[in-house]
Chains A and B, each alone.
Chain A
Amino acid sequence: EPEVTQTPSHQVTQMGQEVILRCVPISNHLYFYWYRQILGQKVEFLVSFYNNEISEKSEIFDDQFSVERPDGSNFTLKIRSTKLEDSAMYFCASSGSGFGNYGYTFGSGTRLTVV
């Protein structure tokens, strides 16, 4: 079964450093997303991406965050200057349809720890 692959599985970084989280979505999917889950809390939407541009973003997704699809297969989330409160599991997801009538496939996540 097709998978969404995320790397690294765990990243520890110092406050103020830049991090790039990487994702390889399912190859024939067109819609890509980043979500995050702070320990013990709900899964929260960060950003959706379609046709090489952001379709929607949440209040969490401020100027410190950016997304890119650099080569047609990878989908990255960059946090420019990490803060302690950015510590969370970050999930990439992809979908063949953007209308929510079909499910999403989520990756296994990257656990980001900011120290």
Chain B
Amino acid sequence: TQLLEQSPQFLSIQEGENLTVYCNSSSVFSSLQWYRQEPGEGPVLLVTVVTGGEVKKLKRLTFQFGDARKDSSLHITAAQTGDTGLYLCAGAGGTASKLTFGTGTRLQVTL
């Protein structure tokens, strides 16, 4: 069974601070996806990383895929209140198309 553990589970910071969310597994994934989920809504894709060591940037968000394709991180620079939400990582393994979701990190950014 593939498991993805996210840390921290909860994070409360002030606007302007930087933060990093981690997504770790003992399993290798062919790709790692990051989603953001609002209450009562479905996950919305932020980014997909495919190659070990890959780094992708989306405005103030930086995503990295570990060299061994077992872990990933999401770094937010100068957080804003609009970044508040639940961040989920999800791994796709081999040729199987199902996603294994992480445990989630709930981020709250306050003024």
User: Which residues of A are at the interface with B, using a C-beta cutoff of 8 A?
Assistant: 4, 31, 33, 35, 42-45, 48, 50, 55-56, 58, 89, 91, 93, 95, 98-109, 111
Contacts of B100 in A (CB 8 A): 45
Identify the closest chain A residue to B33 (Cβ).
A103
Cα–Cα, bound, A26→B54 (Å): 28
| Contact of A55 with B45 in the complex, beta carbons under 8 Å | no
State how many residues of chain B have any CB contact under 8 Å with chain A: 29
Residues from chain B with Cβ under 8 Å of A100 in the complex: 29-31, 33, 91-93, 96-97, 99
Smallest Cβ-Cβ distance to A98: which chain B residue: B97
**Given A31-B97, A43-B43, A56-B97, A103 contacting B48 (CB threshold 8 A):** yes
Segment from B56-64, B74-82, B101-109 that makes contact with A? B101-109
Interface centre among B35, B88, B101 (most CB of A within 10 A): B101
**Closest chain A residue to B6, Cβ basis:** A42
A31-B97, A43-B101, A100-B99 given as contacts; is B42 within 8 A of A91 (CB)?
yes
- Given A100-B30, A100-B92, does the pair A105, B48 have CB atoms closer than 8 Å? no
B11 within 8 A of A: no
Contact B31 A42 (CB under 8 A): no
